[in-house]
Amino acid sequence: MKRQTTLKPRQVLALSVAAAVALCGPARADGDPAKGKSKSAMCEGCHGIPDYRTAFPEVYSVPKLGGQQSDYMVKALHDYKSGARTHPSMRGIAATLSDQDIADLAAYYAGNSGK
């Protein structure tokens, strides 16, 4: 005869939260930094200039990419690609990137705080 186990409400909640975190967490960047470096020229035109400010579509300081968390960069580039982020220049660039390109760029910049 098998014994049935019942979960308490707190156990169900804890398991649900753990599953949600595991399944819905940010994408991991399993990219190749060397390949990311070879793809970074398109980024350097704006992000590689210290204290650069752009005037399109409005004036603002362009963020430095070096040292950013790779998960953040992967999410940001996917958001530009999908249209969830709307900067026209970034949306156009992200649209040309494959998932592997995004992972490679994120891995490169995450490991280069000086860029």
Q: Domain locations in the chain? A: 27-110
pLDDT at 34: 95
d(CA 31, CA 79): 18
Q: What homologous superfamily is domain 27-110 in, according to CATH?
A: Cytochrome c-like domain (1.10.760.10)
- 33-81 pLDDT, tens digit each: 999 999 999 999 888 888 888 776 677 788 899 999 999 999 999 999 9
User: Is omega for the bond preceding 50 within 30 degrees of 0, making it cis?
Assistant: no
Q: Which residue matches tokens 């026209």? A: 88
Structure tokens at 37: 């470096």
Instruction: State how far the Cα of 77 lies from the Cα of 96, in Å rounded to an integer.
Output: 11
- State the average pLDDT over residues 70-99: 95
